[in-house]
Amino acid sequence: MAVAAATPILGIHNLQPSVVGGNELTRMETTSVQAAGVVCLSALKSATNSSCTTGKSVQFKLPKESSTKVLRSSRRSNEFVAEEEAPDRVTESQQESEPSDSTAAAAQPEYIWMSNVEVKRTRPSSFNRRWSSKDISIAGFMTFMHTMCLLAPFTFSWNAVRLCAALSFITGMFGITLSFHRNLSHKSFKLPKWLEYTFAYCGVQAVQGDPLDWVSLHRYHHQYCDTEMDPHTPHEGFWHSHIGWLFDEKPIRRSVSHSNVGDMEKDDFYQFLHKTYIIHPVLLSLALYALGGAPYLVWGMAVRLVWVYHVTWFVNSASHVWGTQPWNTGDLSKNNWWVAMVAYGEGWHNNHHAFEYSARHGLKWWQLDPTWWTILGLGAIGLATKIKLPRPEHMKRLATKSS
Ligand SMILES: [Zn+2]
Ligand SMILES: [Zn+2]
């Protein structure tokens, strides 16, 4: 899930208009996105002489000339606009956080606990940065929601718990993993418009951003996965990849430019959701309060939202830190069984980064993937069509010894 939980609550996004056009185009697009990533990582590699495939050390602080080259390569294949800001950003982040030569030489490499993921910060940490008003409002919202959860024991009722579980499933699985991620971001299958919109509306109620913002940021994550351009790479530290990136407006603003959601941007429904986004969860909150008072509000909004947030964020953090890499994707993505268990199959994240277009993430029979089972069910009754799966030649090309 990209799951991202994407932007910020008050907004997340990234592919091209050409993606819309059916299987082959989408595959080509996916390949070109991956190719852009490979070019990007290759350039990083040659600039730093470090290995990207094992995730051991992607050097972020590039000479200005190198980063420009990376961006041009990416731009050729995907026609992004926002990347032009990057050299400035690199320079800025170097100014903000680059240690002196003597400090760098003395510093020991820092790894995320129980992993081979090296922390190489290019952004100042959350605690060492000037926060914008948007950063503060998002942090305030998150703090408020988490604090509301403290009321859960005092408002407990089985009806409230059942409501929480049902809404988690509807907004987390149908809304985020099935709709925002596999259907809208990656075009892994097609749905009739009425059903596509219904599921997308469920995603809006997860309060992770409207579909345009969420898809844009997520496509951006895939294109620049685990490079300095990735808004939530764990190379910036685990806290950053899990939640800290939400409070760092600059990289998010670059990622959510809508230049990569041309296939959705002209759709009136998505424009409507983009413009009215925040009204919908407010209306749901009022309806829940009217139906069941404080217990429904606390469990149906706060507990439910916080649960789905962390589940989604674990895909960005834990599934890029701990697990196995059966496919040679050149990034840090991992197959993580416990994330897959709580995130409706999204934890098979190395599978997903290898075959972004695939509607199925759990590729082995034992890799539980409830989102895939649901798509399969929708296909069986004729509602999901053009369901994409990994191509054998693609699997052969990316397989490692552990595949
Ligand atoms: Zn994805
Ligand atoms: Zn990822």
Alpha carbon of 298 to ligand 2 centroid (Å): 31
Query: Would you state the structure tokens that stand for residue 354, as one six-digit string?
Result: 């290898």
Looking at the chain, the whole-number percentage of residues with pLDDT higher than 90 is 66
Burial environment of residue 67 by CB neighbours within 10 A (0 to 12, 13 to 18, 19 or more): buried
Let me know if residue 380 belongs to a domain. Answer: yes
Summarised one tens digit per residue, pLDDT across range 27-73 is 334 333 333 333 333 333 333 333 333 333 333 333 333 333 333 33
Let me know if residue 1 belongs to a domain. Answer: no
Task: Name the residue type at position 368.
Answer: L
Number of domains in the chain: 1
Alpha carbon of 225 to ligand 1 centroid (Å): 10
Summarised one tens digit per residue, pLDDT across range 157-170 is 999 999 999 999 99
**What Rg do the C-alpha atoms of the chain give, in angstroms?**
20
How many C-beta atoms surround the C-beta of residue 90 within 10 A? 23
Alpha carbon of 162 to ligand 2 centroid (Å): 31
Let me know if residue 230 belongs to a domain. Answer: yes
Q: Are 399 and 326 in contact (CB under 8 A)?
A: yes
Question: What ligand has the least distance to the C-alpha of 188?
Answer: 1
Let me know if residue 107 belongs to a domain. Answer: yes
Alpha carbon of 325 to ligand 1 centroid (Å): 16
Scored b (16 or more CB within 10 A) or e, 222-242 reads bbbbbbbbbbbbbbbbbebbb
How many C-beta atoms surround the C-beta of residue 351 within 10 A? 30
Chain centroid to Cα 200, Å, comes to 16
Let me know if residue 7 belongs to a domain. Answer: no
CA–CA separation, 350 and 327 (whole Å): 7
- Return the pLDDT at 89: 39
Summarised one tens digit per residue, pLDDT across range 357-381 is 999 999 999 999 999 999 999 999 9
Alpha carbon of 370 to ligand 1 centroid (Å): 16
**Average pLDDT value for the chain:** 80
- Domain containing residue 373: 17-398
Please, which pLDDT band fits residue 76 given cuts at 50, 70 and 90?
very low
Query: Would you state the structure tokens that stand for residue 72, as one six-digit string?
Result: 């041009």
Please, which pLDDT band fits residue 80 given cuts at 50, 70 and 90?
very low
Alpha carbon of 238 to ligand 2 centroid (Å): 14
Alpha carbon of 188 to ligand 1 centroid (Å): 10
What are the two backbone dihedrals, phi and then psi, of residue 319, each rounded to the nearest 5 degrees? -80, 5
Let me know if residue 11 belongs to a domain. Answer: no
Tell me, what DSSP letter sits at residue 399?
B
CA angle 120, 39, 189 (to 5 degrees): 100
Alpha carbon of 200 to ligand 1 centroid (Å): 16
Question: What ligand has the least distance to the C-alpha of 317?
Answer: 2
Q: Is the pLDDT of residue 18 over 70?
A: no
Alpha carbon of 318 to ligand 2 centroid (Å): 10
Summarised one tens digit per residue, pLDDT across range 168-202 is 999 999 999 999 999 999 999 999 999 999 999 99
208: Cβ contacts below 8 Å, ≥ 6 apart: 4, 5, 6, 7, 9, 12, 176, 180, 214, 308, 309, 312
Alpha carbon of 346 to ligand 2 centroid (Å): 10
Please, which pLDDT band fits residue 74 given cuts at 50, 70 and 90?
very low
Q: Are 347 and 333 in contact (CB under 8 A)?
A: no
User: In the chain, what is the straight-line distance between the N-terminal and C-terminal CA atoms, in Å?
Assistant: 22
Alpha carbon of 4 to ligand 1 centroid (Å): 8
Let me know if residue 220 belongs to a domain. Answer: yes
Q: Is the pLDDT of residue 99 over 80?
A: no
CA–CA separation, 135 and 12 (whole Å): 14
Q: Is the pLDDT of residue 257 over 60?
A: yes
Alpha carbon of 301 to ligand 1 centroid (Å): 26
Query: Would you state the structure tokens that stand for residue 10, as one six-digit string?
Result: 């008050």
- Return the pLDDT at 103: 53
Which has more confidence, 173 or 9? Answer: 173
CA–CA separation, 30 and 15 (whole Å): 9
Alpha carbon of 185 to ligand 1 centroid (Å): 7
Let me know if residue 4 belongs to a domain. Answer: no
Alpha carbon of 223 to ligand 1 centroid (Å): 10
Query: Would you state the structure tokens that stand for residue 304, as one six-digit string?
Result: 């439910």
Q: Is the pLDDT of residue 148 over 90?
A: yes
Scored b (16 or more CB within 10 A) or e, 257-286 reads bbbbbebbbebeebeebbeebeeebeebee
- 343 by DSSP, 3-state: which? coil
Q: Are 237 and 119 in contact (CB under 8 A)?
A: yes
The strand pairing partners of 110, in sequence order, are 119
Please, which pLDDT band fits residue 224 given cuts at 50, 70 and 90?
very high
